[in-house]
Amino acid sequence: MQEIVCHLVDEEVLDFWARVQTALDEENFPLNPIDPVGWVTSGNYMGSDYELKVEEWLAERKESVSWLRSLENPDWSSSLDHPTMGTLTAGHFLANWLAHDQLHIRQINGYKRGYLEEISVQDLSYAGKW
């Protein structure tokens, strides 16, 4: 969970927000390379304070939502040329930003469910098929 939350902070600021911004205005915001795998070490994910990182992610998300709401008539079809994935639109990045959240929410739920199964010593099948 620690690494997931730290990853979400970095993705919020350095990847998705930056990619949407670049796609909407590539002239003023160049496409900077990212290194999600390297961030685990360079960002000292496991040495970070979990609660502070959760607060940081929530604050960054609030800032991102405020920024998105401030956009006046954004052209979601505006695009950038990604070095390996080709032409990608701002709308593509926005949708994938949300899908990325959902991916990690599913991952967190899986960890929590596994932990509950481990510590509860109860049959959890009554709750429904997992």
pLDDT tens across 7-44, in order?
999 999 999 999 999 999 978 778 889 999 999 999 99
Specify the DSSP element, H or E, that contains 88.
Answer: strand 86-89
Q: Which domain holds residue 95?
A: 2-121
**Res 120: pLDDT:** 95
User: Is residue 90 a part of any domain in this protein?
Assistant: yes
* In a domain? residue 127: no
29 lies in some domain:
yes
pLDDT for the residue numbered 7: 97
Q: Is residue 8 part of a domain?
A: yes
- Domain assignment of residue 126, yes or no: no
- pLDDT tens-digit series, residues 72-108: 999 999 999 888 899 999 999 999 999 999 999 999 9
Tokens at residue 56, please?
A: 């940081």
DSSP E strands in 5-127: the ranges are: 79-82, 86-89
Rounded to 10 degrees, the C-alpha dihedral 38/50/12/43 comes to -20
Give the number of domains in the chain. Answer: 1
CATH number of the CATH domain containing 48: 1.20.120.450
User: pTM here?
Assistant: 0.87
| Residue of 72, 94, 100, 73 whose CA lies nearest to 22 | 94
**Which residues partner with 87 through β-bridges?**
81
The answer to whether 51 touches 42, Cβ cutoff 8 Å, is no
